[in-house]
Amino acid sequence: MTPGSTPEGRPEFYIGLMSGTSLDGVDAVLADFTAPRLLATHYLPYGDSLTGRLLALQDAGADELRRAALLGIELAGLYAEASRALLDKANLSPQSVVALGCHGQTVRHAPEEGYSLQLGNPALLAELSGITVVADFRSRDIAAGGQGAPLVPAFHEALFGSDGQHRVVLNLGGMANVSNLAPAAATTGFDTGPGNVLIDAWSRRHIGQPYDRDGAWAASGRILPQLLESLLAHPYFSSAPPKSCGREQFNLEWLESLPGVQPAAPADIQATLLELTAGSIGNAIERWCGQPEEVIVCGGGAHNRFLLQRLAAHLPQAKILDSEAWGVGPDWVEAMAFAWLARQTMRGKAASLPAVTGAKGARVLGAIYPA
């Protein structure tokens, strides 16, 4: 029997944990890959204190190695708590789960320097959960010359691919990434730029909310053309894939360094930031993905109605669809991807796509921490 598999006919349970650039909490899923289907989902919020301490590690600071280590321990506890909640909902024991795929919390992403850092202490997570843990998914791809991101296009291909329709899967997380699924062509994918990261940060600062619900605040403002032009002049947008990005490139300090931010009305800035997200995604799909018939949206930004309206305006030829039509709600696609990636690791199968990350070859991703 293949390592990581189960006898034919028996359920094949995996857990996937994702905590992304938005730094808001842990998305957790329990999946059965004999179907595949979701058995349970759970969301565990971080809280302002943890989010603030993680944000502080985006930049160099005093005692950062100790702070990072302690945050990894804290995160392992939260990841174990989320895993227990899933098992309780499904009435399963840890022993019934083949493995747990944990992305960890990214605090630095610098593939051009040869590293991407995700916190989470997977050894401790294996101890606390009683489940074999697969973690550190990015390092092997980076070692092979790749970006280490995005890693989800192979899963998107498995879940959403079609022999007859050209689809693009759009993940609207803190950063936005796309997977280009064209019939009879190799799957490609890349980060398009900011997803929710700037609009969420601006909302926290000016209206005291973690996000702009339905994009209502952005819809109340007006787009500032000169500022939008300055934002779109960032060299990342004109660079060719493979490429990936993070808070290192797109943050409020960068925004506030541009002319036109002061003394503009905050609502107008928000409208412009939302248009930056929609426009940069539309431009990227048109330039690098061609003319897809469908765009399947997942991630937290899938709930932002105004953002989806603006996205549809930039992609009039495509149907904008919700991933729920494929049996996986938009909040759970990425977590399920890391359950699937853990399954690939346990089976010794490559899960990276060189056409996506730029690595010199496909690689088996992740490090295994036995229970």
13-147+332-369 CATH fold: Nucleotidyltransferase; domain 5 (3.30.420)
**Neighbouring residues of 117: CB distance < 8 A, sequence distance ≥ 6:** 68, 106, 107, 108, 109
Mean pLDDT calculated for residue range 324-337: 96
For 245-279, write each residue's pLDDT tens digit. 999 999 999 999 999 898 899 999 999 999 999 99
For 111-130, write each residue's pLDDT tens digit. 999 999 999 999 999 999 99
Q: Are 202 and 270 in contact (CB under 8 A)?
A: yes
* pLDDT above 50 (res 1): no
For 30-72, write each residue's pLDDT tens digit. 999 998 899 999 999 999 999 999 999 988 899 999 999 999 9
Q: Are 133 and 99 in contact (CB under 8 A)?
A: yes
Radius of gyration of the chain (CA): 20
Lowest model confidence (mean pLDDT) among 48-62, 212-226, 228-242 = 48-62
* pLDDT above 70 (res 221): yes
Average predicted confidence (pLDDT) for the chain = 95
Cα–chain center distance at 334: 6
pLDDT at 23: 87
* pLDDT above 80 (res 307): yes
Q: Could you give the C-alpha distances from 144 to 136, 329, 352, 360, 368, in angstroms and in order? A: 14, 33, 11, 6, 19
Model-wide pTM > 0.75: yes
pLDDT at 94: 98
Which among 334, 337, 331, 330 has a CA at the least distance from the CA of 365? 337
pLDDT classification of 8: cutoffs 50, 70, 90: low
pLDDT at 35: 85
Which among 157, 182, 159, 178 has a CA at the least distance from the CA of 169? 178
Number of residues written out for the chain: 371
**Neighbouring residues of 74: CB distance < 8 A, sequence distance ≥ 6:** 50
- Report, in this order, helix, strand and coil percent for the chain, each rounded to 5: 45, 20, 35
Domains 13-147+332-369 and 153-326 share a fold: yes
Domain chopping of the chain, boundaries: 13-147+332-369, 153-326
**What CA–CA distance (Å, rounded) separates 347 from 105?**
25
- Domain at 153-326, CATH from 3.30.70.370, 3.40.50.170, 3.30.70.20, 3.30.420.40: 3.30.420.40
pLDDT classification of 22: cutoffs 50, 70, 90: confident
Which among 28, 30, 35, 29 has a CA at the least distance from the CA of 11? 35
**What CA–CA distance (Å, rounded) separates 1 from 66?**
43
- Rounded percentage of the chain residues whose pLDDT exceeds 70: 98
For 155-202, write each residue's pLDDT tens digit. 999 999 999 999 999 999 999 999 999 999 999 999 999 999 999 999
